[in-house]
Chain A
Amino acid sequence: MKKNLIFFLFICLTTLAATAQSLGIQADSAYAKEDYGRAATLYEQSIASEGQSSTAWYNLGNAYFRRDNLGKAVVCYQRALKLDPTNEDARQNLEFVRSRIQDRPEDDTPFVAKLHRNIVSSATANTWAWTAFALFALLCGAVALYIFSRNIAMRKTGFFGGIVLFFVCAYVITVAMNAADNATQSNFAVVTSPSTQLSSSPRATGKSGDKIITIHEGTTVEIVDSVETPDDPVSPRWYNVKINNGTKAWMRASDAERI
């Protein structure tokens, strides 16, 4: 009797473990069978119940792309990159999907800022943090060399090397902090409805005199501000967004999804 009970418990636990572990793997097999709708649902469930990972978001993005849901795909790839900026596959697919979307916003970021952005996104925040620490250790070594060495050449090396290392280390710490900020903040949103209109004020544009811009699914916008609009029947919230060329405008929050 007791044996039976233990056996039963064992079975229960193993099946539980199997189902818990296999959500993502089930999703993988659904994707392999080209059942992209089911794969997308399973990946979403896996992320909700088992936590997120760069791979999970990446795979979900693929499933959405296969279902022609480009906006959602862009959101997922960007989330994957937020978790792991070194996910080259996600970056490549994001580029590919962006080449398919209708809007092609211009990127007029100065070269230095672009370089900095690329450096920040070339490794995870933690990698940068430990790199900074290693550089700091080297800096300490250089200081020690300067203090303790009798040899004048060694002392010179320690001194100038220390100065260089100090600046490099300070920069890497900044990069690590930026990377951590990028990974946690969600200042960006992606348009998920087929198209939405940007207006000059946070309300639906009815009058013909209002200047509007139309942007389409998959376009990434930067959120500057957001306001509650309880009177608006469609969307209770409006975002003040900046599109890449610096133009600020308002859009319905319900038409976009924060990354």
Chain B
Amino acid sequence: MNNFIIEDTKSTPYVEINYTNNKLILKGESYPENSYNFYEPIYQTIDKYFENYDALSADVQLSYINTSSIKCLMIFFDKLNKNYINGKDIKINWFYDEDNGFDYDMGQDFKMDIDIPFEFLSINNGE
């Protein structure tokens, strides 16, 4: 199966769902005019993914997320959380920029709502 890839734009992040090494990558900024249009295909793909795969490691590095994207990501993490509760092996690596602050706060907010192992990794200490 081909990997699911959306290239990044000024207002949307790079998205990759890799079937061979069971990885999800979200990287960039997210503030599209219509967030639902952007995240809807990702929801569908992740639902299908968990029909066939049992493990997922998500690497997230988002320097800015607007309000409606936050809502969309909440829905997305909620989906992951449901699968985690159903026994899938999922973990989240939240990469943040120490100079930013906003992204770390966001991560904290998301972490609060879900049960998935959630690790914070600073990109300043050399990845």
* A and B co-occur in one complex: no
